[in-house]
Amino acid sequence: MKTIGLEHTTLDACIKNARHERVVLTRKGKPVALVVGVEGLDEEQVQLGSSEKFWTLIEARRRQKTISRAELERRIKDEKGSMETTAEKHETRVSRPTPNQRAALDRGPVAVRKKREKTRSGRGE
């Protein structure tokens, strides 16, 4: 970390130094600002990096009990297995068409058109 007095520097010089290390700016020997380079970070990373609420959340998560990767993979496998079993239980089955439905499918649009033609020509019903 570099400390520079405001009276001895420019903003451009502070930014140039901040690309490599943090720069503490002082006025009359007392710290007044910290310049930190953020090149390569996006806006969200910069905001989260300085968010007290975010770091409190991270600290709380780090205190929680953890599991090994092997345990995680076992749990995922068990979960997938139970989901497949549940899906199989709730699987809807396609029922076979009734005789009337089969007859309607057999007639189809062509049969309807032929019936109309017979009726119009006087040969039908």
What 3-state DSSP class applies to 46? helix
Q: What is the pLDDT of residues 69-85, one digit of tens each?
A: 999 999 999 988 877 66
Q: How many CB atoms lie within 10 A of CB 85?
A: 10
Average pLDDT over residues 34-44: 90
pTM over 0.75: no
Q: What is the pLDDT of residue 53?
A: 94
Residues above pLDDT 70, as percent of the chain: 70
DSSP per-residue string spanning 84-101:
HHHHHHTPPPPPPPPHHH
Residue 2 near residue 21, CB atoms below 8 Å: yes
Tokens 């599991």 belong to which residue?
67
State the CB neighbour count (10 A cutoff) for residue 25: 18
